[in-house]
DNA sequence: CCTTTATATAAAACATATGTTATATAACAG
DNA sequence: CTGTTATATAACATATGTTTTATATAAAGG
């Protein structure tokens, strides 16, 4: 489950999500990715390292350039976890004790 | 997009994901949630605050107890974002420039 | 009332993240 | 070789998270 830590943490930063959004349009180099941000190149390099470490992007070597692209791996893992949670939630909504608890909140517990 | 920050950050912690996993079995009080963890009650209270702030759980009042349950809200938002990214990724895999880039990596760029 | 139970909050310690500047590396252009 | 371009890394400052202990609050049980 440790990779979920990395993946969710990577996605928790708006800059990194913006980078992913840019990569959704296609491959881009570090400089291309850095350009729209009010941020230095080393900062972007670090964000890319985080994204790569989380399995959200991959990088190839092209001369001095390191073009980045989206990688499906981490997303798949996140999806699996969310699917599981979503299903557990759905099952839960059918359980009687929850319904009863709800009723208790709405009715009996309104300060008498 | 700020709520995505909160939601992803909340999910980035294994303790908090474990709490959600426990809540998937049904409502639980703070003490019940704290019990399985090697952690003090205030620490769990803070985690719950983070989860609530992210829209991942809700709390009701029952005497001195504050039973928690899963909330769908944040999950829906995360899902939307991931759906978008997944689709962008899928579109991306069909693009010619990516295919060419791939070929270039595999073939031409193997140090001659 | 007084005590216990359930939870929250404050203060402080410590860890981790994020950004900066300065510098290294490595390929490319000439 | 030399200078330039693209990227990475190191060192550092600052901010943000996480956890603990100690304490507050507030309802419940006698």
Please report, for residues A60, B1, B5, B9, B97, the alpha-carbon distance to residue B74 in angstroms, rounded to integers and kept in the order given. 35, 12, 11, 12, 36
Substitution target from A5, A12, A83 for chain B, most B beta carbons within 10 A:
A12
Query: Is B83 touching A (CB cutoff 8 A)?
Result: no
Q: Cβ(B9)–Cβ(B86) under 8 Å?
A: no
Residue of A1, A2, A11, A111 to mutate, interface with B, max B Cβ within 10 Å:
A11
Q: Which of B87, B8, B68 is nearest to A101 (CA)?
A: B68
Let me know if residue B111 belongs to a domain.
Answer: no
Q: Domain for residue B45, yes or no?
A: yes
- pLDDT digits 0-9 by tens, B51-70: 999 999 999 999 999 999 99
- Tell me the pLDDT tens digit for each residue of A53-94: 999 999 999 999 999 999 988 999 999 999 998 887 777 666
* B112 in any annotated domain: no
Least confident of A1-5, A68-72, B41-45: A1-5
Q: Give the residue whose CA sits closest to C25 at C1'.
A: A64
pLDDT digits (tens, 9 = 90+) for A44-53: 999 999 999 9
Q: How far apart are CA A91 and CA A52, in angstroms?
A: 35
Domain count, chain A: 1
Residue with tokens 């944040």: B74
Three-state DSSP class for A72? coil
Q: Is residue A77 part of a domain?
A: yes
Domain holding B70: CATH number?
1.10.10.10
What residues have CB less than 8 Å from A82, skipping those under 6 apart? B75, B78, B79, B82
Give the residue numbers spanning the domain of B23.
2-106
């Amino acid at each position: 489950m440790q990779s979920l830590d990395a993946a969710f943490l990577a996605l928790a930063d708006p800059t990194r999500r913006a980078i992913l959004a840019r990569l959704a349009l296609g491959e881009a180099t570090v400089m291309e990715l850095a350009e729209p941000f009010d941020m230095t190149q080393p900062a972007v390099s670090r964000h890319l390292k985080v994204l790569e470490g989380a399995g959200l992007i991959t990088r190839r070597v092209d001369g001095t350039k390191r073009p980045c692209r989206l990688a499906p791996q981490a997303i798949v893992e996140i999806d699996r976890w969310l699917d599981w949670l979503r299903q557990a939630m759905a099952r839960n909504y059918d359980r009687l004790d929850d319904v009863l608890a709800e009723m208790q909140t709405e009715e009996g517990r309104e300060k008498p």
